[in-house]
Amino acid sequence: MDIANLTAFVSVAESGSFSHASEQLFLTQPAISKRISALESELDVQLFDRIGRKVTLTEAGSALLTRARSILQQVEDSKRAIKNLSGHVSGKLSIGTSHHIGLHRLPPILRAFTHTHPEVELDLHFMDSEEACHAIEHGDLELGIVTLPLQPAKVLHTIQVWPDPLDIAVNQSHPLAKVNKITPKKLSEYPAILPTPGTYTRQIFEQTMRKHKLKLKVGLATNYLETIKMMVSVGLGWSVLPRSMLNKELKILNIEGIKLERRLGIVWHSGHTLSNAAKAMSSMLSANVNQ
């Protein structure tokens, strides 16, 4: 099977659109259609159902998609392995990272990396940590610099770089701000502003609260910690925030029996060969472990 045809097929399948695939691959729509038609002719099956502008996979298309992704990943892996033989650090490095890490942890690392390895083209994607890990699983990104999952998928390799203590905080005028010691039950009586369900930070907190068999009053939820901090600062509720983000506007609550911490670090696919650029970035990050 032709690699270019498989690439077009995966792009259409994932985007659900011939026009979006043409934009991603910098090709015309007729060129994309021609590649899909060639693949369908070669396999003697229809891969997509086309109803108006909607494009969906047929049963045969769904069966091919997983295998096509695997083939393309193996091709890219082979290219990296051969290129690595030169020992030269160059080329494109695709990284997924969270907004929080990108703002508060990465700047000095990126500055040092680009100075040391000017021939590397950094392809930086800001996204939720969960989304970045998913993209690495599917071969869409080479590295993730993220909040590490509590239970990583088997194909993911993780290294902690920074411990990230979490504190429960409120606005200085909140009723709990003047209480020295607070029970988890007392905390649960007040509205919370938390990260969206399913995020690793939310999972860490919920795991702790389950031990106390408590149900939370969650008034608001968002993925952006900076937004949560703002809402806590104006008195909309309490929340769990990285200690590094707290300032004089916020009061840290002393909650009996609760100590929270998440792990920030590197993630990559254990079955894929890392490029020299990815190895260099991982080494630079590892040198900063726990700093």
Q: Is residue 131 part of a domain?
A: yes
Confidence class for position 1, pLDDT limits 50, 70, 90: confident
In this structure, the answer to whether residues 271 and 157 fall within a common structural domain is yes
Region 132-153 average pLDDT? 92
pLDDT at 61: 92
Q: Which residues pair with 239 in a beta bridge?
A: 169
Contact 232, 169 (CB under 8 A): yes
**What's the whole-number mean pLDDT along residues 147-160?**
93
Average pLDDT, the chain: 90
Instruction: Say whether pLDDT at 290 is over 60.
Output: no
Same domain, 55 and 103: no
Same domain, 282 and 223: no
Contact 267, 136 (CB under 8 A): yes
Query: Which residue from 285, 200, 185 is spatially nearest to 240, judged by alpha carbons?
Result: 200
For residue 262, what pLDDT band results from cuts at 50, 70 and 90? very high
Task: Say how many domains are in the chain.
Answer: 3
* Percent of the chain's residues with pLDDT above 70: 99
- Token duo for residue 260: 């929270």
Check whether residue 226 and residue 249 sit in a common domain.
yes
Say how many residues make up the chain: 291
- Minimal CA–CA distance to 268: which of 89, 137, 81, 105? 137
- At 45, which CATH number? 1.10.10.10
CA–CA dist 235, 249 (Å, integer): 10
Distance CA 92, CA 119 (A): 9
pLDDT tens digits, residue range 65-76? 989 988 888 888
* Chain centre distance of CA 217: 27
- Closest alpha carbon to 261 in 189, 187, 160: 160
Could you tell me if 39 and 6 are in contact, meaning their C-beta atoms sit under 8 angstroms apart? Answer: yes
Q: Where are the beta strands (DSSP E) in 18-142?
A: 48-51, 54-57, 91-97, 120-126
CA angle 69, 70, 72 (to 5 degrees): 65
Residue 276 and residue 243 in one domain: no
Q: Across residues 19-27, what is the average pLDDT?
A: 90
CA distances from 167 to 18, 50, 51, 207, 230 (A): 47, 52, 52, 15, 15
DSSP 77-98: HHHHHHHHTT----EEEEEEE-
Whether 32 is covered by a domain: the verdict is yes
Please check whether residues 229 and 269 belong to one and the same domain. Answer: no
DSSP state of 273: P
Could you tell me the residue range of the domain that residue 98 belongs to?
Answer: 89-162+264-286
CA gap 13, 120 in Å, rounded:
30
Residue 291, pLDDT above cutoff 60: no
Query: What local confidence, expressed as pLDDT, does residue 141 receive?
Result: 93
Same domain, 155 and 115: yes
Same domain (yes/no): 249, 178 = yes
Residues 244/227, Cβ–Cβ less than 8 Å: no
Is 29 part of any domain? Answer: yes
Whether residue 143 is contained in a domain is answered as yes
pLDDT on residue 208 = 87
Q: What local confidence, expressed as pLDDT, does residue 179 receive?
A: 87
Decide if 291 is inside a domain: no
* Mean pLDDT, residues 203-209 taken together: 88
Q: Do 157 and 187 fall within a single domain? A: no
Percentage with pLDDT > 90 across the chain:
66
Kindly state whether residue 73 falls inside one of the protein's structural domains: yes
Task: Note whether 98 and 46 are same-domain residues.
Answer: no
Could you tell me the CATH number of the domain that includes residue 227?
3.40.190.10
The C-alpha angle with vertex 120 and arms to 124 and 140, in degrees rounded to 5, equals: 45
Average pLDDT over every residue of 22-27: 90
- Give tens-digit pLDDT for 209-249: 888 888 888 888 888 899 999 999 999 999 999 999 998 88
- Token pair for 281: 């970035």
- Give CA–CA dist 105/127, Å, rounded: 15
Choose one of 59, 83, 107: the last residue of a domain. Answer: 83
Mean pLDDT of 31-55: 90
Asked whether residue 65 falls in the same domain as residue 31, the answer is yes
- Which pLDDT band holds residue 125 (cuts at 50, 70, 90)? very high
